[in-house]
Amino acid sequence: MVEIEYRKARIKLGNIDLVYEPAEDSFLLADAALKEAKAGMRILEIGTGSGFVSTVLLENLKDIRLVATEINPNAATCAKTNGVEVIRTDLFKGLKSRDPETHFDLILFNPPYLPTSEEEKVPGWLNYAFDGGISGRETLDRFLDEVKDYLKPRGEVLVLISSITGLEAVKEKMEKLGFTVDVIARKKVSFEELMVVRGKIL
């Protein structure tokens, strides 16, 4: 099985035809999350994929309590193999029934962020890794509409977006929902710029 090593963590990737292969977006979110997370925090990762970001956090931070969700069953199995506690579900569904303590200090999501037409969809579960709907923000918008219900007071959200996703539209939505918004990491990768957007509830 293919494995990668990143920031002291070894992550088994499983079959990359079935599970999203960690890339620059995953690395940028993992590094930003490592800076924001602190010992003792309760952390939720939505859409953990192979479990890459969660595994990096678990291997580098003491005393965190981390749970993840993932819609793709192949990815959920891969993340479990990497030692991540993962619930196979759509976004936040199933969290309440599984865990009575469903409020988190930090919630992370590297969503499918590419604008995608019907013809651009890829077959099978892997489509969930890429397909952001026509706007590129369909899954992210659903996430943002719900995320405050799962945050502790003064909790924060980190989302990975691309310049193609539209920073202004994401900022506007988050601000309307009551978040204070900052871009805390950026990286240019060929035709796009990747960004980690932080939303804080004050």
Ligand X SMILES: C[S@@+](CC[C@H](N)C(=O)[O-])C[C@H]1O[C@@H](n2cnc3c(N)ncnc32)[C@H](O)[C@@H]1O
* Closer residue to ligand X in complex, CB, 83/202: 83
Query: In 3-state terms, what secondary structure has residue 177?
Result: coil
Backbone angles phi, psi at 173, to 5 degrees: -65, -45
* Closer residue to ligand X in complex, CB, 16/175: 16
Task: Please report how close the Cβ of residue 52 comes to ligand X at its closest, in angstroms.
Answer: 4
* Closer residue to ligand X in complex, CB, 72/82: 72
Task: Please report how close the Cβ of residue 30 comes to ligand X at its closest, in angstroms.
Answer: 7
Task: Please report how close the Cβ of residue 201 comes to ligand X at its closest, in angstroms.
Answer: 22
Taking CB atoms, the residue at the shortest distance from ligand X is 47
Backbone angles phi, psi at 79, to 5 degrees: -65, -40
Residues contributing to the site for ligand X (CB under 6 A): 20, 22, 26, 29, 46-49, 52-53, 69-72, 75, 90-91, 110-112, 128-129, 139
Q: Which residues contact 93 (CB under 8 A, 6 or more apart)?
A: none
Backbone angles phi, psi at 179, to 5 degrees: -85, 145
Task: Please report how close the Cβ of residue 20 comes to ligand X at its closest, in angstroms.
Answer: 4
Q: State how far the Cα of 3 lies from the Cα of 118, in Å rounded to an integer.
A: 33
Q: Where are the beta strands (DSSP E) in the chain?
A: 3-6, 9-12, 42-46, 65-70, 86-88, 104-109, 151-162, 180-189, 192-200
Task: Please report how close the Cβ of residue 202 comes to ligand X at its closest, in angstroms.
Answer: 27
* Closer residue to ligand X in complex, CB, 139/165: 139
Sheet holding 65-70, edge to edge: 86-88, 65-70, 42-46, 104-109, 151-162, 192-200, 180-189
* Closer residue to ligand X in complex, CB, 28/174: 28
